[in-house]
Copies of this chain bind each other. A is one copy, B any other.
Amino acid sequence: MPEEKDTINKLAKAPIESLHLDAITVVTNLYRAAQGLRNKMEREVLAKHGLSWTSFSILYDLWIWESVETKKLAMSAGVSKATISNITNTLERKELCYRKVDNRDRRITCVVLTDKGRKVMEELYPQFHQGEVEVVSSLTVEEQKVISGMLRRVIRENNF
């Protein structure tokens, strides 16, 4: 990313009172770290099963909760329900999950993990976790607690 100083010059013509350079730096580094994290995981762990980050996060939810409504999957993954519908189709094609219509409210569709899906998770999760550890290994455990606390506040305050 360019230097903040360059941005200041460009803003001569833009109607802005003042630049909050620290906010810019947080946002820039936050997104870059997350992007790198996702790319690393997809390349080093998930690619061998042709799974995207979002696909994996859905499988993870199903692994933990057994059966999850489409809408809750969307909220958990932070994507639209249309995306969940598409990804569920892909995962169904791979026989990693299946749909199940709710009997009480037939508008609701639940997604359920198959045995094959469970096996994939039991193979993949330890490797995924190893990647998580590696990514944050430059931070002490104490620092990890601090950064998690701050991120959690950002998430909460913005309803993310």
- Which residues of A are interface residues toward B (Cβ below 8 A)? 1-2, 6-7, 10-11, 13-16, 19-20, 22-27, 29-40, 53, 60-61, 63-65, 76, 78, 121-123, 125-126, 129, 132-139, 141, 143-148, 150-160
Separation of A95 and B11 alpha carbons in the complex (Å)? 22
A136 to B5, CA, bound (A): 20
Extra A-B contacts (19), CB below 8 Å, given A11-B126, A30-B37, A33-B155? A2-B65, A7-B64, A10-B63, A20-B133, A22-B144, A23-B136, A26-B144, A26-B147, A29-B152, A30-B33, A31-B37, A31-B38, A33-B151, A33-B160, A36-B160, A37-B158, A136-B154, A138-B157, A138-B158
How far is B159's CA from A35's CA once the two chains are assembled, in angstroms?
12
Q: Which B-chain residue is minimally distant from A6 (CB atoms)?
A: B64
Q: 29 pairs across A/B with beta carbons < 8 Å? A: A2-B61, A2-B65, A7-B125, A14-B125, A16-B125, A16-B126, A16-B129, A20-B132, A22-B144, A23-B136, A27-B135, A29-B148, A29-B152, A29-B155, A30-B37, A30-B151, A31-B34, A32-B151, A34-B35, A35-B160, A36-B155, A37-B158, A37-B160, A40-B160, A135-B158, A138-B157, A139-B153, A139-B154, A147-B147
